[in-house]
Structure 1
């Protein structure tokens, strides 16, 4: 597959990869640092509801993983020449449905696991509360992951940059940050904190 500038998207040149990735990684490190500072500000909520602190790593990590899955599938289709970025593309919508279905499964399992852990350690929360928090924030994060995956893949392709080099770092970092903010926001809202 050839990018708009005439270079092969599949060509591998270390200098080109470093030139494209270094500024991007600096920006992404700054974003993740900002997220870490924000997480520190949520100490009161996480101290009062310890199960939420247990859920944060899975919630944040899975959001980025879902975005990476979608980005990888789109990037592979670009390299195979089987995608057109057309809203009528049935394979694209099947991938979106698969990612959202996986998200629903994972975030339901997260809520049930946290509920069981809460009973084991003597700090139970209602299963309905945990499901509302986990599914509400998880599905919102999954939707953001899908949109950002499409935007990052299409943008990389249009700029003549191999999407394999850029999409996963962009999507995982940005979705991780949004995932944390959404999770904390939904948790505070549901718990009236």
Structure 2
């Protein structure tokens, strides 16, 4: 395939998912609007939002890249079946996603304290991040596997799907579960 045809193929494969990603980003913004009401109850909450969303992209973008490479190399079949490579990558991503969520809570709280800014309690930040981290990890892993495998079986290059899928799922469910986590911690505390 000549470079021009390759460029148009990538564009045709990417454009629909990018349009969906745009809608997902707008939806995440609407959820953020709802989260603003909780800032008074949990001062410093907004400090964690960009870091939380960015780490969803980092952790699960790496997982998507591993899945994509495994599909291209024939090491992973586009099916939800036991595969040691896939299972190990999923477990590592799950642990990283939850671990980094806890770290975000601790570092955000510490940074706010060092800067002399008002901050919610450490256990509140960690609780919010832990709940949101666990829930987004589950959705991100399942969503990535299902959407990448389905796209691959339909003839799409998974490399063109990983970025927009991770961004969209991370933004939508990251914000939804962050809001849910805030509500949960408000009820518990």
Match of 1:33 in 2: 26
Is 2:66 aligned against 1:88?
Answer: no
Residue 110 of structure 2 corresponds to which residue in structure 1?
Answer: 116
Q: Cα RMSD over matched residues?
A: 2.0
1-structure distance, mates of 2:33, 2:159? 33
The answer to whether the Cα contact below 8 Å between 1:115 and 1:124 also exists between their aligned partners in 2 is yes
Alpha-carbon distance in 1 for matches of 2:174, 2:102: 16
In the alignment, structure 1 residue 136 sits paired with structure 2 residue 131: yes
What's the counterpart of residue 38 of structure 2? Answer: 45
Unaligned stretches of 5+ residues in structure 1: 1-7
Query: How many Å separate the matches in 1 of 2:150 and 2:133?
Result: 25
**1:3 is matched with which residue?**
none
Give CA deviations for 1:57-95 in whole Å, capped at 9, x if unaligned.
111221232221111100000111111235221111111
Which SS does the other structure have where 1:13 is aligned? helix
Compared CA separation, residues 132 and 41, structure 1 to 2 (3 A): closer
Per the normalisation by structure 2, the TM-score is: 0.88
**Aligned mates of 2:153, 2:21 — CA distance in 1:** 21
Aligned to 2:8: 15
Structure 1 length normalisation: TM-score?
0.86
Question: Aligned partners of 2:176, 2:184: CA distance in 1, in Å?
Answer: 12
Distance 1:156 1:119 in 2: 46
Equivalent position to 2:150, from 138, 147, 155: 155
Question: Which structure 2 segments of 5+ residues have no match?
Answer: none
Aligned length in residues: 183
Distance 1:46 1:61 in 2: 20
1:100 aligns with 2:125: no
